[in-house]
Copies of this chain bind each other. A is one copy, B any other.
């Protein structure tokens, strides 16, 4: 058996609650050492967006938000908090679907998600007024962490910043990659032959999303107790993917 046939995932232990301004790279490298591990070229670190947002200070106090007319009308229509609806609209480019208590939007980052990915649980203690926005530019956050790890350890790894999304047709959230660096996000196998030499027909893998999902088997939904997972054993081509590679263009989407 060779490494090609196996993968290991390790949730890094004892990562402290993240505060605004924390250096995530330092915290992650310390946790890798605590796990008794050393980073290797080709490793992938999956980091929940929650701790990236916290380190980057993306906290908002809902009491500071003044809902505009659109947010007020929409909040009344779907029975949601007007301040939260205002924030969701600010983070979005358009509304995808709305229903009682439900607001699904196209996020400014391009993906479609409920509540613009704004996180209301586990933010700071029990303060119901504090919510967490997604990082400003998760691909850039991923790139920065990757570069700092490369500079400090000489190791070239892949980074995925993950979030947890619902989806049409199926119940339960799964992991998605909203920031990617140093690795493919979408793996395009088109043109590669199958076992019998025929060309594969359906052959784009949602690679970053599948890796984010695999990590979420350890982190669970919360994403804060065990917010970083080291994935070892992936075999991927050297390329610089971006989270938007995983976004289906609206004009080719039959479900917009």
Contact = CB atoms under 8 A, between A and B. Distances in A.
Interface of A: 1, 5-11, 13, 17, 35-36, 97, 99, 102, 104, 111-112, 114, 120-122, 125-126, 164, 166-176, 186-187, 189, 194-198, 200-207, 209-211, 213-214, 216-218, 220-222, 224-226, 234, 245-248, 253-256
12 contacts: A5-B226, A7-B217, A120-B201, A122-B194, A126-B198, A171-B246, A172-B205, A174-B205, A189-B221, A205-B216, A205-B220, A210-B216
Contacts of A214: 7, 9, 210, 213-214, 217
Which secondary structure characterizes the binding site on chain A? loop
Contact of A171 (B102, B166, B206): B206
Given A126-B196, A255-B97, A172 B204 contact: yes
Contacts of A220: 189, 205
A186 to B, nearest CB: 5
A194 B203 CA distance: 38
Contacts of A17: 195
B164 A196 contact: no
B224 A217 contact: no
A200 B221 contact: yes
A183 to B, nearest CB: 12
Q: Which of A99, A125, A207, A211 has the most chain B CB atoms inside 10 A of its CB? A: A207
Contacts of A166: 202
A1 B168 CA distance: 37
Nearest to A127: B196
Contacts of A222: 194-195, 200
